Chains A and B, each alone.
Chain A
Amino acid sequence: MPRCARVLPLLVLFLVARPLAGQSFVTPIQDLNFGIVIRGVTTSVVPTDPVRRGRFYVKHILNGQVGLRFTLPSRLDRVGGGATMPINFGANDLMIQGTASNSVPEFFNPHGNQNYKLDTSPDIYLNMGGQVSPATNQPTGTYIGTITLTCVFF
Chain B
Amino acid sequence: MRTTTRVSAVVAALLTLGALPAKAQSANINAVANVFQAITVTGAQTLDFGNVFPGVNKTILATAGTAGRFDLAGQISAPVQVAFALPTNLTSGANNLAIATWTGCTSPTTSSAGCTAFTPSGTATTTAFSGAGALSVFVGATVSPTPTQASGAYTGIVTLTANY
Binding site for B on A (CB under 8 A): 2-4, 7-8, 10-11, 14-15, 18-19, 24-41, 43, 54-56, 67, 73, 76, 85, 87, 128, 130, 132, 134, 138-154
B1 within 8 A of A: no
The answer, among B24, B32, B37, for a CB contact under 8 Å with A140, is B37
In the complex, which of the residues B14, B20, B30, B35 contacts A145, with contact meaning CB atoms closer than 8 Å? B30
A54 and B22 alpha carbons, distance in the complex (Å): 26
Q: How far is the CB of B124 from chain A (nearest CB, A)?
A: 15
Q: How many contacts between A and B, using CB within 8 angstroms? A: 143
Residues of A with C-beta under 8 A to B13: 11
Assess A14 versus B14: contact at CB under 8 Å? Given A34-B31, A150-B26, A153-B24.
Answer: yes
B10 interface residue (CB < 8 Å to A): yes
Beyond A32-B32, A39-B36, A56-B27: 4 further Cβ-contacts under 8 Å?
A14-B17, A18-B20, A24-B23, A146-B30
| B164 within 8 A of partner (CB) | yes
For residue B29, CB closer than 8 A to chain A, the reply is yes
Q: Are A87 and B26 in contact (CB under 8 A)?
A: no
Which of chain B's residues have a CB closer than 8 A to the CB of A15? Answer: 17
Q: Residue on A with the closest CB to B20? A: A18
Report yes or no: A11 in contact with B10, Cβ–Cβ below 8 A: yes
Bound CA–CA A39/B38 (angstroms)? 6
Q: Complex: how many Å from CA A145 to CA B29?
A: 9
Q: Which of B11, B27, B36 contacts A149 (CB 8 A)?
A: B27
Residue from B6, B20, B28, B29 whose CB has the most chain A CB atoms within 10 Å? B29
Partner of B29, one of A4, A11, A19, A32: A32
